Structure 1
Amino acid sequence: MALIDPFNRKIEYLRVSVTDKCNYRCGYCMPEQGAHPEGRHTEYLDFDELSRIIKAFVELGVTKVRITGGEPLVRKGLSDFVSSISPLDGLKEIALSTNGHFLDKHAVALKEAGVTRANISIDSLKPELFNKITRGGDLKKVLAGVDAALEAGLNPIKFNMVVMKGTNDGEIERMVDYGLEKGVEVRFIETMPIGEAGISLMDQHYPMDAIMKRIKAHVGTDLIPSTGKSHDGPSKNFIIKGTDTRIGVISAVSQHFCESCNRVRLTARGVLALCLGQEDSVDLRTPIREGISDEGLKQMIVDAMLKKPERHFFNENVHNIEFRQMVSLGG
């Protein structure tokens, strides 16, 4: 058995949300009141259930797992969970997506457990604006997390900046310079109409062409298209000549990249989401808790791939994804 979708794309990358809770409330990701505030703890897959599903995916050919949230570091025992899956034969990479707030405390343990790289969300380098965008975030804590991650060897580090017109688009150049200072990759991400929160901010959508125009004006001829394979697939990548800093732009809305999609997402509540921008999904929690065999679970996953759509339709079918929340899907 192998994970091949109807469009002959090989699925090798699983994003695993371990929680939809977060200590931040970024406007494009989560409603101000949080996600599923009435949710019960038992609705979440426990770490043994998550490990079992990941093992099935790895045996079916998945080589990369990214741990996401919400904010994954608000869930206790994350390093031990990573240690439980890192020995899986065939799993080549465990990555982490985080807002960085707790990273200074956990970077060393995560590295020792098997996390090889981290993406850190930073939407502003201005403390007051950062606090406003995140509805309470502490930029000082995040920058301390960046330094701790680099010191621990969680490398390469990537900074993720969601660019919002009229909010933080004036910091594109400053973020490039911060990436140069730290020697890390900076990725600029278009806002996406995922859930009520994301849809409400689409009037601040800032397209890839406008982002690249700013970056090229700032860097000039030193910006060179990168021909190397990106670790995360969808971004269009460039390297700043004479440095270790790469620049990426994720243009999910203005220039979609669905033809090369190699990923699916597992939510903390056991829903296998087959596309970030479509409602296609499969419940894995119920069969897991009803005693499905390992072979039955793998067959169920293989069959689920047949439901993976060819592409999203962010501009045409926003209503299809309004009920979802980015914080629950793990980006």
Structure 2
Amino acid sequence: MRNELIDPFNRKIEYIRVSVTDKCNYRCGYCMPEQGVHPDGTHKEYLSYDELSRIIKAFVDLGVAKVRITGGEPLVRKNLADLVGQISGYEGLEDIALSTNAHHLGREAIALKEAGVNRVNISIDSLKAQRFNKITRGGDLEKVLAGVDKALEVGMNPVKFNMVVMKGTNDDEIEAMVDYGLEKGVEVRFIETMPIGPAGVAMMDQHYAADKILARIKAHVGADLIPAASKSHDGPARNFKIAGTNTKIGVISAVSQHFCETCNRVRLTAKGVLALCLGQEDSVDLRTPLREGISDDGLKQLIKDALLKKPERHYFNENVHNIEFRQMVQLGG
């Protein structure tokens, strides 16, 4: 299938992150304010599953091979497996992934796997129950770990942990998270804090650079970290295999070492906004033309035209205040 989604910098767009809600049952400080971000939101503002599947179909027809379902927390939206089932048969769609805090994953994993979810990324910033509860403002580590076990049990592969490393908050758990990944046979990815929205900007004094994380991991495991080739659908992580094991670790260095030259993704918000860059305002409204009756061909052309607005890169280092207009939770990460 020919990919028709080429941005102005000759990057192929093969991957779309689809937010099904900007609501979340947790309140992680780097992602959203304690009160949330949707006090005035109404149900009608969110795209229906039929609307979401129609947009996804247009992207797949244009060459997108991977869809990641995100939020907010996607599992707070009812019957998510229904959406997965709607899109899983699309010709050309190779991979359906899920990003979740795993609070409800123990309950939903079987249905999601049967519907077509191949892999799952689980946000887990601490292995200490009290600290986890504080970071997430109310999260339940026991439920999250039960969700991890259920995902492994039903055969989601790979299962990945995402840990946002925060200096003075959880950076003392880097080594423990590596050990837990080795024990469970899951890949662990360490993520730098990013200045997205007021919540993210406020956390930048806790930024912990990826190279420091890698140095600590290498010292801890007493083995080399062998660079692992990333697949085009793997996302922005720099991946490494721990010598002598089958375990991989990754770092996402959006601030200290950006990866914009290989960006192959766009994001669809739950309210139908196509966000073209995590760190820039460039975006296009798809919900309005969809609800006004745009044809399938018209929708595809709108998407192709939107890609012409995709910027070359973000500017996290140059100006950490340039994206205070929206919170991470609204963008699907």
Q: For the superposition of Structure 1 and Structure 2, which TM-score range results when normalised by the shorter chain? A: over 0.9
**TM-score normalised to structure 2 length:** 0.98
Cα displacement (A) at 1:35: 1.5
- AA aligned to 1:226 is A
Deviates more, 1:249-258 or 1:216-225: 216-225
Deviations 1:50-97 (A, max 9, x none): 000000000000000000000000000100110000000000000000
Question: Given that residues 175 and 186 in structure 1 are in contact (C-alpha distance below 8 angstroms), is that contact kept between their aligned partners in structure 2?
Answer: yes
Normalising by structure 1, report the TM-score. 0.98
Aligned length: 331
Q: Does 1:4 align with 2:23?
A: no
Matched, 1:154 2:166: no
Give the equivalent residue in structure 2 for 1:114: 116
2:295 pairs with 290, 293, 296, which one? 293
CA distance in 1, matches of 2:161, 2:47: 29
User: How far does residue 166 in structure 1 lie from its aligned partner after superposition?
Assistant: 0.2
Is contact 1:184-1:244 (8 Å) kept?
no
Post-superposition CA distance 1:202-243 (Å, at most 9, x none): 000000111111111101224222135374231111111232
| In 2: Cα distance, 1:77 partner to 1:174 partner | 35
Aligned to 2:241: 239
| Cα distance in 1 for residues equivalent to 2:253 and 2:70 | 20
CA distance in 2, matches of 1:288, 1:114: 26
The residue matched to 2:84 in structure 1 has which SS? helix
Q: What is the CA–CA distance in structure 1 between the aligned matches of 2:224 and 2:312, rounded to whole Å?
A: 36
Task: Provide the rounded CA distance (Å) in 2 between the counterparts of 1:228 and 1:191.
Answer: 22
What secondary structure does 2:223 align onto? helix
Specify the alignment match of 1:182 in structure 2: 184
| Distance (whole Å) between structure 2 residues aligned to residue 234 and residue 129 of structure 1 | 27
The CA distance in 1 between the partners of 2:60 and 2:152, in whole Å, is 28
Q: Is the 8 A contact 1:22 1:69 kept in 2?
A: yes
Of the three residues 260, 276, 301, the one matched with 1:274 is 276
Question: Matches of residues 1-331 of structure 1 in structure 2 within 5 Å?
Answer: 2-229=4-231, 231-331=233-333
CA distance in 2, matches of 1:132, 1:230: 35
Give yes or no for contact 1:184–1:245 (8 Å, CA) kept in 2. yes
Which deviations, in whole Å up to 9, do the C-alpha atoms of 1:13-64 show, x marking residues without a partner? 0000000000000000011001222101100001000000000000000000
Q: For 1:244-273, what per-residue CA distance to the aligned partner results, in whole angstroms no more than 9, with x for missing partners? A: 210000000000000000000000000000
Gaps of 5+ in 1: none
Determine if contact 1:259/1:310 at 8 Å carries over to the other structure.
Answer: yes
Counterpart residue identity of residue 306, structure 1: L
Per-residue deviation, 1:150: 0.1
Which one-letter code corresponds to 2:148 in the other structure?
Answer: V
1:146-182 deviation digits (Å, cap 9, x = unpaired): 0000001111000000000000000000000000000
* Identity among equivalent pairs (%): 80
**CA–CA distance in structure 2, aligned partners of residues 319 and 169 of structure 1:** 24
What is the letter of the counterpart of residue 108 of structure 2? H
Q: Secondary structure at the match of 1:221?
A: coil
C-alpha contact 1:6 1:306 (8 A) present in aligned 2: yes
- Counterpart amino acid of residue 45 in structure 2: E
> Runs of 4 or more off by more than 6 Å in structure 1?
none
SS in 2 for 1:309: coil
- Preserved contact between residue 282 and residue 311 of structure 2 (Cα < 8 Å): yes
User: What RMSD in Å do the two structures reach over aligned CA positions?
Assistant: 1.0
Indicate conservation of the 8 Å contact 1:183/1:243, yes or no: no
Q: Does the 8 Å contact 1:15/1:66 carry over to 2?
A: yes
